[in-house]
Amino acid sequence: MVLPTAACRRPHVDTNNGTVYLTRTVVSPSRRDHTNSGKILVVDDEPAEREGLARLVAQWGCEVETASSGEEALDLVETRHPAIREMERDAILRAREETGQDKRRAAQLLGISLKTLYNKLAKYGIRAVKSARLT
């Protein structure tokens, strides 16, 4: 799996049945703009494949980090890129506000399952907003 962590004008990555397919780049090696290089997180449980893909991506001019599992990748992203946590939390709060605190609709808006939303609400300590009753 290849996860872009910032803008990187390099070959497009498609995933199909857990396999990574790299399509041809639109930026020729002789015309690369190294000032616009990004960071790429390469995740694979096979060490040889992970390191080979990391070397390939580094040749594109991107900064490369590697992880051997999805769990390790998430830990790495959260510790090295805390702004991502804050952006995710803000997105959840906005979705809940836009849907009138309806968790099912908020999950649909975010493109995640309801169970995942509940896990993220717990992770970020977001509590339900109690509505005032009109009498």
Residues 18, 65 share a domain: yes
Same domain for 10 and 59? yes
Beta strands in the chain (DSSP E): 2-4, 13-16, 19-22, 39-43, 63-67
Residue 17's alpha-carbon distances to 21, 29, 33, 52, 92, in angstroms, are: 10, 29, 32, 20, 29
Are 50 and 27 in a shared domain?
yes
**Residues near 11 by beta carbon (within 8 Å), at least 6 away in sequence:** 22, 23, 24, 25, 60
Predicted confidence pLDDT, tens digits, the chain (135 residues) = 444 444 444 444 444 444 444 433 333 344 444 444 578 889 999 999 999 999 998 998 888 999 999 889 888 888 887 888 888 899 999 999 999 999 999 999 999 999 999 999 998 899 876 554 454
pTM for the model: 0.49
Residues 86 and 68 in one domain: no
Whether residues 9 and 68 fall in one domain: yes
User: Does any domain span residue 25?
Assistant: yes
Asked whether residue 134 is assigned to any structural domain, the reply reads: no
6-45 confidence digits (pLDDT tens): 444 444 444 444 444 443 333 334 444 444 457 888 999 9
Which residues are within 8 A (CB) of 30 and not within 5 positions of it... i.e. 6 or more apart? none
* 65, 39 Cβ separation under 8 angstroms: yes
- Quote the CA–CA distance of 9 and 56 in Å, as a whole number: 14
